[in-house]
Amino acid sequence: MKHVQEVLFLLGSLGFVVGLKMMGKPDSARKGNLVAAAGMLFAVLGIMFFKHGEEGIHVVNNVGLIAAAIGVGTLVGWLMAKRVQMTAMPEMVSLFNGMGGLCAALISLLEWKFKGDAIATMPAGEYLAIIAGLIIGTVSFVGSIVAWGKLSGKLGDFRFPGQQFINIIMLLAIAGTAWMNFSAAANGNMLYFYLVIILAAVYGLLFVFPIGGADMPVVISLLNSPICLW
Amino acid sequence: MDTIFNFIGENISMIYLVILMVFVGIELIGHVPSVLHTPLMSGANAIHGVVLIGAIYVMGHAAEDDMFSLVVGFIGVIVGTLNVIGGFVVTDRMLEMFKKKPEKGAKS
């Protein structure tokens, strides 16, 4: 019974794929949503109670605090989702989406901190996963919050000439900064790391301001978490 | 050139996974009637809340006296759970409206 976590994760992934497939047909759509939710429950149980580390299966550290955080999140999320008007649904989804982005960005922040001195010897794949999580999370958080503001009528459109061009420049700047951060951080220079966060946030603003509610690259975020676990 | 090849070699199973998942995603979403697009977007949003797993994972690695990590992790888990629970409940409410259209006001 060493690999309970792996089996639970497998069930979780299966739940997501089958659930999404069922959601594509009107008859089974509602059940599909529940199947996907069950998949999520399996995955959470797996990571919390059956963590498969060097010292065998164990409950994860700080499990009380984690359970408390999940409790708070569940209560608040449930109430928000139940109380929202049907007409205000899109901005609610956008807001929740932004919360997921924030979560991804915070994960990367912590992973980066935990790496500490090991940053210098980190494999490129791992660095890519952390920095991509940070960038995608930040863009998705800021972008979703702007989309939320626009959908609920708090923010208006904002355009200026050459916006597309500037957006492309911004993307290149983010990639360049992330690249430079790899070698800079190895020497203990954190400047580029913060610069990546700021640039990603600005890009999130510029990206969503001229358009209507845009859905963030969900698949990339979905892939973001297994990469973190890799 | 060598670095790129090495990178691909070291992460080959991950690269396979990403490519195959892209096709799974396209296949799953491709032939959906347009009435279901909104709930599907919302459901996919809830599913991408799996970042919650990552949040639990990193918070489970924080030392018990490391206040900064605990606070950031705590916020991360709350916010991730919001995404998951809120996403699924909102999707359920949307899909509730699709059920039994002919009978007015029918609740299941």
Residues B45 and B69 reside in one and the same domain? yes
Are A146 and A176 within one domain?
yes
Residues B54, B65 within the same domain: yes
Asked whether residue A213 falls in the same domain as residue A149, the answer is: yes
Do A143 and A121 belong together in one domain? Answer: yes
Do residues A52 and A97 both lie within one domain?
no
Name the domain boundary from A34, A67, A83: A83
Same domain, B65 and B39: yes
Tokens at A77, concatenated = 């999320």
From the list A170, A157, A154, the residue with the least C-alpha distance to A208 is A157
* Number of domains making up chain B: 2
Instruction: Tell me what percent of the residues of chain A surpass a pLDDT of 90.
Output: 13
B71 close contact with A: CB closer than 8 A = no
Same domain? A107 vs A217: yes
B72 and B24 within one domain? no
Contact flag A36-B46 (C-beta cutoff 8 Å): yes
User: Same domain, yes or no, for A35 and A115?
Assistant: no
Rounded mean pLDDT of A61-82? 90
Per-residue burial over A125-152, b if 16 or more Cβ lie within 10 Å, else e, is bbbbbbbbbbbbbbbbbbbbbbbbbbbe
Q: Are residues A123 and A11 in the same domain?
A: no
Q: Residue B44 and residue A81: Cβ atoms within 8 Å?
A: no
Distances (CA, A) of A57 to A2, A8, B104: 7, 13, 52
Q: In this structure, are residues B76 and A106 in contact, taking their beta carbons and an 8 Å threshold?
A: yes
Contact B86 A99 (CB under 8 A): yes
Range of the domain at B22: 1-31
Which has more confidence, B21 or A32? A32
Domain end marker among A83, A116, A132:
A83
A8, A23, A82, A151: which to substitute to probe chain B, counting the most B Cβ within 10 Å?
Answer: A23
Instruction: Give the tokens for residue B30.
Output: 């491709």
Over residues A88-107, mean pLDDT: 86
Say whether both B7 and B43 belong to one domain: no
Q: Kind and range of the H or E element at A146?
A: helix A124-151
End-to-end CA distance of chain A: 21
Q: Is the pLDDT score of A207 beyond 80? A: no
> Do A216 and A154 belong to one domain?
yes
Domain match, A4 and A25 both: yes
Kindly determine whether residue B36 and residue A24, on different chains, have CB atoms separated by under 8 Å.
Answer: yes
> Could you give the angle at the alpha carbon of A71 between the alpha carbons of A67 and A89, nearest 5°?
135
Q: Give tens-digit pLDDT for A124-180.
A: 777 888 888 888 888 888 888 888 887 777 777 677 777 788 888 888 999 888 888
Mean pLDDT, chain A, whole residue set: 81
Q: Which of residues 27-46 of A touch B (CB under 8 A)?
A: 29-30, 32-34, 36-37, 39-40, 43-44
Q: Which residue has the tokens 């301001």?
A: A209
Residue B105, pLDDT above cutoff 60: no
Most confident of A63-72, A131-140, B3-12, B15-24: A63-72
Residue B107 reports pLDDT greater than 60: no
H or E element in which residue A115 lies: helix A89-115
* Contact indicator for B79, A102 with CB cutoff of 8 Å: yes
A76 touches chain B (CB under 8 A): yes
Same domain? B45 vs B80: yes
- Residue that is last in its domain, among A25, A56, A83: A83
- A174 and A226 in a single domain? The answer is yes
- Compute φ and ψ for A27, nearest 5 degrees: -65, -40
Domain match, A110 and A135 both: yes
* Pair (B27, B59) in one structural domain: no
pLDDT given at position B102: 52
Listed residue (A181, A195, A197, A194) closest to A120, CA to CA: A181
Instruction: Note whether A106 and A205 are same-domain residues.
Output: yes
Q: What interface predicted TM-score (ipTM) does this complex get?
A: 0.82
Give the residue, B87 or A147, on which the prediction is more confident: B87
Size of interface A-B (CB pairs under 8 A): 272
Q: Do B11 and B49 sit in the same domain of this protein?
A: no
Residue B99 banded pLDDT, cuts 50, 70, 90: low
Domain count, chain A: 2
Same structural domain, B19 and B39: no
pLDDT digits (tens, 9 = 90+) for B58-84: 888 888 888 888 999 999 999 999 999
Could you list the residue range(s) of the whole structural domain that residue A27 is in?
A: 1-83
CA atoms within 13 A on the CB side of B64: 6
Render the burial of A3-28: b for 16+ CB within 10 Å, e for the rest. Answer: eebeebbebbbebbbbbbbbbbebee
Q: Do B9 and B61 share a structural domain?
A: no
Which residues on A lie below 8 Å from B14 (Cβ)? 125, 227, 230
Please judge whether B21 and A61 are an interchain contact, meaning their C-beta atoms are less than 8 angstroms apart: no
Q: Between chains, do B85 and A106 touch, taking CB under 8 Å as contact?
A: no
A 129-158 residues inside an 8 A Cβ radius of B: 133, 137
